[in-house]
Amino acid sequence: MSGKRGIRINQIGYEPNAEKMAVIDNPASDFFEVRTIDRSVMWKSVLRNPLRITSGRQAVADFSAITTPGDYQLVCGNVSADYREKGRRGQESFSFVVKPDVYTHLARLLTGYFTWQRCGSKKGWAGKCHQEPAPLVGTGRTIDVRGGYHQSCDLRCWADGISMSLYAYLRYAERMHPYWDDGILHEELRHGCDYFLKLISPEGFIYDSQFVPIG
């Protein structure tokens, strides 16, 4: 969400059939427009609806009716069609897109975060680190928890964050089947599950972390 221009939109963009909303601070008008941007026509009005007032200083603009893929900008008030004109009044948002795969790049970035956070792996940001057995404080025992994930810039071997994150990772893989996958998601799920199994003690409980052996 960006509000530097007085209009808060989802700058990543919107899927064609998704609900599309924007919040306008101190709206300059009771109407807004969503305009297309292309090489031949700098501005073109494609929608004009009254704002739904939510408070004295903010309003909500609903432009869910726009389903055609393209590049757009939301305008409120008097903004000239000539971008070179001085002294314009009104507000205009940053540009945003409407397209079916609008979240593809973001999803790839977020799923890649798992691989970058690998601990003890050449694929992780720290390389082959934390290769020593982890001590269980107060027991005199050690366990092999190599292959986990860095958390808070170190290895803590927390069980809860790994299990919940992997579940969300799995749901994404099952639902989306991204074209760029090529086995990447499967490999990361295998890596995470192998590590999670290491946190299960021979007695059947799960180590809370390497330094707090509580099930």
* Residue 210: per-residue pLDDT: 54
* Residue 92: per-residue pLDDT: 87
* Residue pointed to by tokens 């002294």: 87
pTM of the model: 0.66
* Residue pointed to by tokens 């939510």: 54
The parts of the chain modelled with pLDDT lower than 70 are: 1-4, 39-56, 79-89, 151-163, 208-215
CA torsion, points 71, 73, 74, 80, in degrees to nearest 10? -140
pLDDT digits (tens, 9 = 90+) for 64-103: 988 999 999 888 887 665 544 544 568 888 999 999 999 9
d(CA 141, CA 83): 70
181 Rama sector, left if φ>0, alpha if ψ -120 to 50, beta otherwise: alpha
Q: How many CB atoms lie within 10 A of CB 85?
A: 9
d(CA 66, CA 85): 28
User: What CATH number should be reported for the domain whose range is 7-98?
Assistant: 2.60.40.10
Domain extents in the chain: 7-98, 104-198
* Residue pointed to by tokens 């003690």: 201
Q: How many CB atoms lie within 10 A of CB 71?
A: 14
* Residue 81: per-residue pLDDT: 53
d(CA 191, CA 111): 13
* Residue 182: per-residue pLDDT: 92
CA distances from 179 to 70, 100, 173, 185, 188 (A): 22, 13, 11, 11, 16
